[in-house]
Amino acid sequence: GDSVTQMEGPVTLSEEAFLTINCTYTATGYPSLFWYVQYPGEGLQLLLKATKADDKGSNKGFEATYRKETTSFHLEKGSVQVSDSAVYFCALSEIQGGTSYGKLTFGQGTILTVHP
């Protein structure tokens, strides 16, 4: 079945440091890939997405590129802020025949803490 593997956390950084959170996946079809973010005490928010190979999703200074050859979707940000402290989930949605099944497969999540 489909699976998503995220780098183990937690990740602790100083403000303005560079962030990378690794994500790799296995899927039988051609999935869409997502990064969701969950701030303390809140629900899940879509951070960015990519639907085909070499697509780059970007939002709020975060970027991730859909790499089919390495089955990866690593999240990066050049300069993190204290307000970026949250839990980050990589996820995929199986797409077959051009349509989705509507089920998300999540990674285990990475806790990011940014200190001033």
Distance CA 2, CA 26 (A): 5
Least CB distance to another protein at residue 59 (A) = 13
Q: Angle at CA 42, nearest 5°, toward 64 and 50?
A: 20
CB 91 within 8 A of CB 33: yes
In a 10 Å sphere around its CB, with 0-12 CB exposed, 13-18 middle and 19+ buried, how is residue 9 labelled? middle
Least spacing, CB of residue 106 vs another protein, in Å: 4
Residue 79 vs 83, nearer CB to another protein: 83
Residue numbers at the binding site for another protein (CB under 8 A): 31-32, 34, 36, 42-46, 49, 51, 87, 89, 93-95, 98-104, 106-109, 111
Cβ nearer to another protein, comparing 45 with 79:
45
Q: How far apart are CA 83 and CA 86, in angstroms?
A: 8
Shortest Å distance, C-beta 55 to another protein? 11
Decide whether 72 or 109 has the Cβ nearer to another protein: 109
Which residue, 38 or 72, has its beta carbon nearer to another protein? 38
